[in-house]
Amino acid sequence: MTFRGSTVRYAVRDHRAYVTLNRPDRLNAITAEMATEIASAVAEANSDDAVRVIVVQGAGRAFCAGYDLKMYAEGGVDVQPDVWDPIKDFRAMKANTDHFFSLWRSAKPTVAKVHGYAVAGGSDIALSCDLVVMADDARIGYMPSRVWGCPTTAMWVYRLGAEKAKRMLLTGDTITGTQAQEWGLVAEAVPGTELDDAVERLADRVCGVPINQLVMQKLMINQALDNMGLQSTQNMAILFDGITRHSPEGRWFVNFAQTHGFDAAVQWRDSGRFIPDGGGPVPDEDEIAEMARELAQHTGGTGGRP
């Protein structure tokens, strides 16, 4: 084994490679380094003849809570000036998307084990895996579809179909593992205490199949999605993601995060309130506090987020 990562752990046992997102203090929030390390770990697993299946999981309380908004929105990392370069943005986001999608393009099968949250960019990682097993009370969704994001892997429509994908992306809502299974988004949803065992049982079944059979079945199925325009759809989604972050409303959102912190910005986004355009006023502290109180009444104090 040669892979060593600072945001991703890697281990092999019993013909399985375990790729563990390892920023538990930030709910495994995504950085560019993490995206790169996911792809490196997948490459390592594919080069190891002893490995037949790759299990992707998250350390701590969640699978992955999306991109690190404290870094990118509040901190302004990689936020371009008013006159922005869409191709520079596309190049960076396509690199991250390709890193996530190494899980889909991997010759060997990949299984996501989801607990806590797989939201925003975290849902991109989970849905890039061939199979997803969730805790029944875990939540998955893409809340930035409300403002400041478009899912760059475009996997919602390919897994759910047009109507349910629209239901998720036109609202930014999240659903539980139980509902995700009912909708056909994930392979299985089980009580959290049974999640490890469920994934290991599935991995056992996969590991009993010869590698050449696994590779051929996966290539054949993936080809069907490629024939339906998966790559061109992703290219459009990546470009749109950049536009959402530099639209008038996207500018308001990042300015709001830099003024009041990403927690308050996410609360506003998920509350269902209108997002002002770039010329709209940034609410004062009293308005933020009132909004937080209202939101807590409707969400049990969680703010509708991790």
**Does 105 have pLDDT greater than 90?**
yes
Mean pLDDT of 266-286: 76
Within a domain: residue 214? yes
Mean pLDDT of 23-35: 97
Quick one: 206 and 266 in the same domain?
no
Residues 6+ apart with CB under 8 A from 51: 12, 15, 16, 17, 45, 108
Residue 75 confidence (pLDDT): 64
Residue 302 confidence (pLDDT): 39
Number of domains composing the chain: 2
Give the span between the Cα atoms of 254 and 165, in whole angstroms: 26
Residues 6+ apart with CB under 8 A from 44: 1, 2, 3, 10, 17
Quick one: 195 and 256 in the same domain?
no
Give the span between the Cα atoms of 44 and 49, in whole angstroms: 10
Quick one: 171 and 58 in the same domain?
yes
Quick one: 38 and 146 in the same domain?
yes
pLDDT in tens, 34-68: 999 999 999 999 999 999 999 999 999 999 999 99
pLDDT in tens, 223-246: 999 999 999 999 999 999 999 999
Looking at every residue in the chain, the average pLDDT score rounds to 91
Residue 281 confidence (pLDDT): 60
Q: Given pLDDT bands bounded at 50, 70 and 90, which one contains residue 94?
A: very high
Residue 296 confidence (pLDDT): 59
Residue 80 confidence (pLDDT): 67
Residue 294 confidence (pLDDT): 62
Whether 96 contacts 152, CB under 8 Å: yes
Residue 76 confidence (pLDDT): 62
Q: Given pLDDT bands bounded at 50, 70 and 90, which one contains residue 300?
A: very low
**Does 115 have pLDDT greater than 60?**
yes
Quick one: 214 and 261 in the same domain?
no
Nearest to 202 by CA among 110, 65, 78: 110
**Does 301 have pLDDT greater than 60?**
no
Q: Which amino acid is at 246?
A: H
Give the span between the Cα atoms of 140 and 123, in whole angstroms: 6
DSSP 282: P
Residue 208 confidence (pLDDT): 97
Residue 276 confidence (pLDDT): 82
Locate all alpha helices (DSSP H) within 86-150, ordered by sequence. 86-100, 102-105, 121-127
Quick one: 174 and 254 in the same domain?
no
Within a domain: residue 257? yes
Element (H, E) at 56: strand 53-58
Within a domain: residue 238? no
Q: Spell out a b/e string for 142-177, using b for 16 or more CB atoms within 10 Å of the CB, else e.
A: bbbbbbbbbbbbbbbbbbbeeebbeebbeebbbbbb
Quick one: 48 and 172 in the same domain?
yes
The CATH number covering residue 195 comes to: 3.90.226.10
- The pTM of this model reads 0.92
Whether 67 contacts 121, CB under 8 Å: yes
